Amino acid sequence: MRPADETGANDEPVQAPTVCAAFQRLAARHPDKLALRTLGRERTWTWAELNGEVREVAAGLAAAGIGHGDTVAMMLPNVPECHLVDLAAVHLGAVPFAIYNSSSVEQVRYQLEDAATTIIITQQSYLEKVLAAGADLDALRTVVVVDGPAPEGVTAFADLVQAGEPGFDFESAWRTVGEEDLVTLIYTSGTTGPPKGALWAHRSVMTQLRALGAAMPLASESIVSFLPMAHAGGRIAAHYMALPHGATITCCPDLNDLPHALADARPDAMFTVPRVWEKLRAGIEAMLAAADEETRAEGRAIIASGEARARAGEAPEPPAPLLLPILRRLGLDRLRVAFIGGAPSAPALSEFFRGCGVPLLEAYGSTECGLNVFNRIDDFRGGTVGKPLPGVELRIAADGEILVRARLNMVGYRNRPEQSAETLDADGWLHTGDIGEVDADGFLSVVDRKKDIIISAAGKNMSPVNIEAAIKPESALIGQMATIGDGRRFITALVVLDPDGAAAFATQHGLETTDIAALARHPEVLAEVDAAVKRGNERLSRVEQVKKHMVLATSWLPDSEEMTPTMKLKRRAIAAKYRDEIEQLYAD
DSSP secondary structure letter of residue 15: G
Q: Please indicate whether the domains covering 13-177+217-249 and 453-586 agree at the CATH topology level.
A: no
Contacts of 446 by beta carbon, 8 Å cutoff, 6+ apart: 344, 364, 385, 402, 434, 435, 436, 465
Determine the Cα–Cα distance for residues 146 and 298; give it in Å rounded to an integer. 50
pLDDT at 423: 94
pLDDT at 177: 98
Query: Residue 581, exposed/middle/buried by CB under 10 A (0-12, 13-18, 19+)?
Result: middle
Report whether 161 contacts 84 (CB < 8 A).
no
Determine the Cα–Cα distance for residues 75 and 97; give it in Å rounded to an integer. 9
pLDDT at 401: 93
Contacts of 257 by beta carbon, 8 Å cutoff, 6+ apart: 39
At 541, the amino acid letter reads S
Determine the Cα–Cα distance for residues 231 and 424; give it in Å rounded to an integer. 21
Pairing of strands 546-552, 491-497: parallel
pLDDT at 192: 53
Cα four-point dihedral sign 251, 253, 255, 256: negative
What 3-state class would DSSP assign to 230?
coil
What DSSP string runs through 270-338? EEE-HHHHHHHHHHHHHHHHTS-HHHHHHHHHHHHHHHHHHHTTPPPPPPPTTTHHHHHHHT-TT-SEE
Structural fold of domain 13-177+217-249: Rossmann fold (3.40.50)
What DSSP string runs through 390-452? TT-EEEE-TTSEEEEE-TTS--EETT-HHHHHHHB-TTS-EEEEEEEEE-TTS-EEEEEEGGG
At 106, the amino acid letter reads E
pLDDT at 9: 40
Radius of gyration of the chain (CA): 24
pLDDT at 210: 96
Domain extents in the chain: 13-177+217-249, 453-586
pLDDT at 7: 45
pLDDT at 455: 77
Determine the Cα–Cα distance for residues 405 and 395; give it in Å rounded to an integer. 9
Provide CATH code, domain 453-586. Answer: 3.30.300.30
Pairing of strands 269-272, 248-251: unpaired
Element (H, E) at 81: helix 80-91
Question: Mean pLDDT per segment of 10 residues, for the chain of length 588 residues?
Answer: 43 96 97 96 96 98 97 97 98 97 89 96 96 94 94 96 95 97 88 80 97 94 94 92 97 93 96 86 90 93 93 87 95 94 80 94 91 91 92 94 96 95 95 92 86 75 84 91 90 94 90 92 95 92 91 89 82 91 90
pLDDT at 3: 40
Report whether 26 contacts 15 (CB < 8 A).
no
